[in-house]
Amino acid sequence: MHPMLTIAVKAARRAGSIINQASQNLDLLTVSKKSHSDYVSEVDGAAEAAIIKVLHSAYPDHAILAEESGRQGDHEKSEFLWIIDPLDGTTNFLHGFPKYSVSIALKHKGILTHAVVYDPNMNELFTASRGTGAFLNDRRIRVSKRNKLDDCLIGTGIPFRDLTHLDAYLAMFKDIVPRTAGIRRPGSAALDLAYVAAGRYDGFWEIGLAPWDMAAGCLLITEAGGLVGDLEGNGTFLESGQIIAGSPKVFSQLLQLITPHLTPALIEAQRATKS
């Protein structure tokens, strides 16, 4: 395992320990609301602080982009950028619904190079380094081999922060449901993407994500032999927050179903990131 990935794993496990301990006393947590249906607890902050402490102890000059504390370090001068979501699926966590994860990714000169998604409930550790494949608890993983969409299980996330494109999303959903074996929406995008990499889902799509929701999971998928793109199949998903992912054949089939439902507003929002 690459030394930087080893540090990321250490940080993810440290955060997972904090999350697991707090899950035993949910009624005692302090919770605040960032926006509509978007919550943050003291656990998010404690887990993020633990991750940053581990990363900065090893790499004090690296820049950081974290969900709760935002940008840290010199983003202009540093070649390295850590992208952190300390608790992806906070709403699930606060309700005792055991689908949430820790997500840590590293960019080097703008390219995703290392990724960790950790499920503290199941003690499942998904890791990847560019060019070396993707792994689940040290076992190599690959995307699904299914090639017919009607046999496929597809993951998704219903827009909750910004409902601007909800109608477009629902039109996509309505078109995809009858053409698949099933749709799932557990509520942790990082974990959903890890499941695509592991072949548990055959594909995934969502609108309105943040970079820390996607970065680690996207590298997992590409290293597991899958494809990731925005809703037009392009590479600006981290910037636009719109994403389709899956095995190569499922990716193309999802893309064909989704693109007819791209409204002018959604296309404008997506393409604005390319200028």
Q: What is the pLDDT of residues 93-105, one digit of tens each?
A: 999 999 999 999 9
For the cut 80, the answer to whether the pLDDT of residue 202 exceeds it is yes
Q: Where are the domains of the chain?
A: 3-141, 149-274
Class in CATH terms, 3-141: alpha beta
Question: Do the domains at 3-141 and 149-274 have one common CATH topology?
Answer: no
Q: Rounded to an integer, what distance in angstroms lies between the CA atom of residue 128 and that of residue 131?
A: 9
**Quick one: fold of 149-274?**
D-Maltodextrin-Binding Protein; domain 2 (3.40.190)
Average pLDDT estimate for 43-59: 95
Contact 93, 182 (CB under 8 A): no
Q: How far is the C-alpha of 79 from the C-alpha of 61, rounded, in Å?
A: 9
pLDDT tens, position by position, 112-127: 999 999 999 999 999 9
Q: How confident is the model at residue 265 (pLDDT cuts 50, 70, 90)?
A: confident
- 83-115 exposure pattern, b = at least 16 Cβ within 10 A, e = fewer: bbbbbbbbbbbbeeeebbbbbbbbbeeeebbbb
d(CA 106, CA 8): 9
Q: What is the pLDDT of residues 165-194, one digit of tens each?
A: 899 999 999 999 999 999 999 999 999 999
Which residues are paired to 182 by β-bridges?
153
**For residues 127 and 9, is the Cβ–Cβ distance under 8 A?**
yes
This model's pTM is above 0.85: yes
pLDDT at residue number 266: 86
What is the pLDDT at residue 77?
Answer: 85
Q: How confident is the model at residue 275, as a pLDDT?
A: 45
For residue 36, the model assigns a pLDDT of 52
Residue 40 has pLDDT above 80, yes or no: no
Mean of the pLDDT values across residues 55-61? 96
The pLDDT > 90 percentage for the chain reads: 79
Is the per-residue pLDDT at 35 higher than 70?
Answer: no
Query: Rounded to whole angstroms, how far apart are CA atoms 206 and 243?
Result: 6
